[in-house]
Amino acid sequence: MRLSPVRLIRPKRFGDARGWFTEVYSEPAFAALGITCQFVQDNHSLSAPAFTLRGLHFQTPPRGQDKLVRCIRGRIYDVAVDVRRGSPTYGQWVGAELSAENGHQLFIPIGFAHGFVTLEPDCEVTYKCSNTYAPDHDGGIRWDSVGIDWPISAGAAPELSEKDKVQPPLAAFDSPFDYDGNPLAPLV
């Protein structure tokens, strides 16, 4: 089975009566998984209301960003959408619940739009990026234009930024990302 370019990472936790310890990033361990980018920036966000939706975001070439995302307080549903032109999985998405409790992380490579929705109040998310923020290369697509099954309670509307309310739909997006021959696959 071919591995997806988007990867769900499940770091091991070592616990005792005091609590637990985990290694969330190790360059050699990630290289063994085929993740060889160099991270140069760490970001941290707090989303106060439940069902805060951030995304779907990316940075365009030459300032694209690989991301390694984890939730350190609360629970989120984290999503990556293939936006590489020519990809047989263009517009398809994968998602996973990341929480402080499960400790899982999602690796999202360049060429994928990223977003998440908080599943409870006061969620904190941290993520590593392989490039620094570049406002001239900041981009996105509309959160509701891809068919993502967002786990938002019936009757609830997501909390969106003004920027995310006006992103173009996927159908109107002219992708600057090239397909690398590695199609999106289900997370394992």
Residues 23-48 have pLDDT tens digits of 999 999 999 999 999 999 999 999 99
- For residue 115, what are the domain limits? 7-178
Active site includes 57? yes
Number of helices (H) and strands (E), helices first, in the chain?
A: 2, 14
Assign residue 13 the CATH number of its domain. Answer: 2.60.120.10
Catalytic residue among 77, 104, 114, 127: 127
The reported pTM is 0.95
Phi, psi of 160 (to 5 degrees): -120, 150
How many structural domains compose the chain? 1
Classify residue 62 as exposed, middle or buried by CB count within 10 Å of its CB (0-12, 13-18, 19+).
exposed
Active site includes 114? no
pLDDT score recorded for residue 125: 98
Report which residue type is found at 73. Answer: R
Catalytic residue among 57, 77, 90, 114: 57
Q: pLDDT tens digits for 48-84?
A: 999 999 999 999 999 999 999 999 999 999 999 999 9
Q: Considering the domain boundaries, does residue 188 fall inside one?
A: no
Q: Considering the domain boundaries, does residue 99 fall inside one?
A: yes
Q: Considering the domain boundaries, does residue 184 fall inside one?
A: no
Q: pLDDT tens digits for 129-144?
A: 999 999 999 999 999 9
Q: Considering the domain boundaries, does residue 95 fall inside one?
A: yes
pLDDT score recorded for residue 51: 97
d(CA 3, CA 11): 18
Q: pLDDT tens digits for 86-134?
A: 999 999 999 999 999 999 999 999 999 999 999 999 999 999 999 999 9
pLDDT score recorded for residue 2: 66
Q: Considering the domain boundaries, does residue 147 fall inside one?
A: yes
Q: Considering the domain boundaries, does residue 186 fall inside one?
A: no
